[in-house]
Structure 1
Amino acid sequence: MVLVLILGSAAAPAADRFTDLLRERIEEIRFSPDPRVGGARIASVAVLPDFYEARGFELAWTRPKIAAELIAAVHNIAADGLDPRDYHSRELVQLTAQVRVDDTRPTPARIDLDILLTDALIRLAYHSHYGKVDPKALDGNWNILRPLLARDPVAALEAAIASDSLQAVLEALLPQHGFYRALKRALARYREIAAGGEWPQLPSGPTLRIGARDPRVVALRERLLREGYAVEGGPDPAFYDTELERAVKEFQRLHSLASDGAIGESTVAELNVTVQERIDQIRVNLERARWVLHDLQPRFVIVDIAGFEAYYYAEGEPRWSARVQVGKPYRATPVFKDAITYLVLNPTWTLPPTIIEEDVLPVVKRDPGYLQRRNIAVIDRAGKRIDPATVQWERYRGPDLPYQLVQGPGPDNSLGRIKFMFPNQHAVYLHDTPNKALFERSQRTFSSGCIRIEDPFQLAELLLDNPDNWSEQQIRAAVDVGETRTVRLPNPVTVLLLYWTVRANGDGSVRFKPDIYERDAAVLQALDGAFRARAAAPGS
Structure 2
Amino acid sequence: MGFLISGTAIAQTSPIEPVSPVSSVAEAAPGDYVGQAIQAELAPLSSAFPPLLTSPRHQRVDVNRVVLDFYSHRGYRAAWTDDDDVAQLLKSLGDTQADGLNPADFRIAELAEAHTLMQTTSPTPGQRAAFDISATRTFITALLQLRRGKVDPSRLDIHWNFDPAGVDPREDVNKFFAALDSHDIARAFALAPPQEAVYGTLRHGLAQLRKVRDRGGWPKIPEGQTLRPGMDDASVALLRTRLAAGGYLAAQGTARTDYDDAVTAAVKKFQTEQYLGADGVAGPATLTELNVPVEARIDQVRVNMERARWLLYKLQGTFVVVDIAGYKVAFYRDGKPVWRSRVQVGKPFRSTPIFQSAITYVTFNPTWTVPPTILLKDMLPKIRDNPGYLEASRIRVIDRDGNVLDPSTVDWDNPRGLTLRQDAGSDNSLGQVVIRFPNEYSIYLHDTPHRDLFAKSNRATSSGCIRVENPLQLVELLFNDPVHWNSEGIQKQLANGKTENIRLPVKVPVLLAYWTVDLSLDGRVTFKPDVYGYDSPVLRALNQPSERPALDGRRAAPPSVAAEQSKL
**CA 1:131/1:535 → structure 2, altered by over 3 Å: closer, same or farther?**
farther
Match of 1:214 in 2: 233
- Determine the C-alpha separation between the residues in 2 that align with 1:503 and 1:376: 41
Match of 2:507 in 1: 492
1:440-498 per-residue CA deviation (whole Å, 9 max, x = no partner) reads 11111110000111111111111110011111232133223322222211111111001
Match of 2:388 in 1: 369
Q: Please say if residues 349 and 407 of structure 1, whose CA atoms lie closer than 8 Å, have aligned partners that are also in contact.
A: yes
For the pair 1:143 / 2:161, whether they are aligned, the reply is: yes
For the pair 1:523 / 2:528, whether they are aligned, the reply is: no
Match of 1:59 in 2: 78
Match of 1:443 among 429, 435, 458: 458
Q: Which segment is superposed worse, 307-316 or 158-167?
A: 158-167
Q: Please say if residues 416 and 434 of structure 1, whose CA atoms lie closer than 8 Å, have aligned partners that are also in contact.
A: yes
- Determine the C-alpha separation between the residues in 1 that align with 2:170 and 2:217: 47
1:125-147 per-residue CA deviation (whole Å, 9 max, x = no partner) reads 32123211111111122111225
Match of 2:21 in 1: none
For the pair 1:198 / 2:217, whether they are aligned, the reply is: yes
Letter in 2 for 1:273: V
1:9-41 per-residue CA deviation (whole Å, 9 max, x = no partner) reads xxx999533234333433478899xxxxxxxxx
Give the SS at the match of 1:294: helix
Q: CA deviation at 1:245?
A: 0.6
**CA 1:153/1:502 → structure 2, altered by over 3 Å: closer, same or farther?**
closer
Give the SS at the match of 2:413: helix
Unaligned runs of 5+ in 2: 1-27, 49-61, 557-564
Letter in 2 for 1:73: S
1:96-137 per-residue CA deviation (whole Å, 9 max, x = no partner) reads 444359x99655553343122201122123212321111111
Q: CA deviation at 1:508?
A: 1.8
Match of 2:404 in 1: 385
Match of 1:123 in 2: 141
Match of 2:35 in 1: 19
Match of 2:306 among 281, 287, 296: 287
For the pair 1:452 / 2:452, whether they are aligned, the reply is: no
Give the SS at the match of 2:201: helix
Letter in 1 for 2:249: A
1:256-301 per-residue CA deviation (whole Å, 9 max, x = no partner) reads 1111111111111101111111010000001111111114340111
Q: Please say if residues 343 and 420 of structure 1, whose CA atoms lie closer than 8 Å, have aligned partners that are also in contact.
A: yes
Q: CA deviation at 1:229?
A: 2.2
Q: Which segment is superposed worse, 284-293 or 228-237?
A: 228-237
- Determine the C-alpha separation between the residues in 2 that align with 1:379 and 1:143: 35
Match of 1:36 in 2: none
**CA 1:457/1:392 → structure 2, altered by over 3 Å: closer, same or farther?**
same
Give the SS at the match of 1:99: helix
Q: Please say if residues 330 and 339 of structure 2, whose CA atoms lie closer than 8 Å, have aligned partners that are also in contact.
A: yes
Match of 2:490 in 1: 475
Q: CA deviation at 1:153?
A: 9.0
- Determine the C-alpha separation between the residues in 2 that align with 1:346 and 1:13: 73
**CA 1:152/1:270 → structure 2, altered by over 3 Å: closer, same or farther?**
closer
Unaligned runs of 5+ in 1: 1-11, 33-42
Match of 2:346 in 1: 327
**CA 1:490/1:163 → structure 2, altered by over 3 Å: closer, same or farther?**
farther
Aligned length: 511
Percent identity, aligned pairs only, is: 42
Give the SS at the match of 1:394: coil
For the pair 1:404 / 2:419, whether they are aligned, the reply is: yes
Match of 1:339 among 339, 343, 358: 358
Letter in 2 for 1:521: S
Give the SS at the match of 2:235: helix
Give the SS at the match of 2:257: coil
1:182-241 per-residue CA deviation (whole Å, 9 max, x = no partner) reads 222211221222221211101112211101122211111111112222246669822211
Q: RMSD of the alignment, in Å? A: 2.9
Q: Which TM-score applies when normalising by structure 2? A: 0.83
Q: Please say if residues 345 and 419 of structure 1, whose CA atoms lie closer than 8 Å, have aligned partners that are also in contact.
A: yes
Q: Please say if residues 241 and 254 of structure 2, whose CA atoms lie closer than 8 Å, have aligned partners that are also in contact.
A: no
Q: Which TM-score applies when normalising by structure 1? A: 0.87
Q: CA deviation at 1:76?
A: 2.2
For the pair 1:359 / 2:351, whether they are aligned, the reply is: no
**CA 1:372/1:139 → structure 2, altered by over 3 Å: closer, same or farther?**
same
Letter in 2 for 1:144: F
- Determine the C-alpha separation between the residues in 1 that align with 2:450 and 2:482: 28
Q: Please say if residues 231 and 244 of structure 1, whose CA atoms lie closer than 8 Å, have aligned partners that are also in contact.
A: no
Q: Please say if residues 252 and 258 of structure 1, whose CA atoms lie closer than 8 Å, have aligned partners that are also in contact.
A: yes
Q: CA deviation at 1:512?
A: 0.5
Letter in 1 for 2:300: Q
For the pair 1:255 / 2:274, whether they are aligned, the reply is: yes
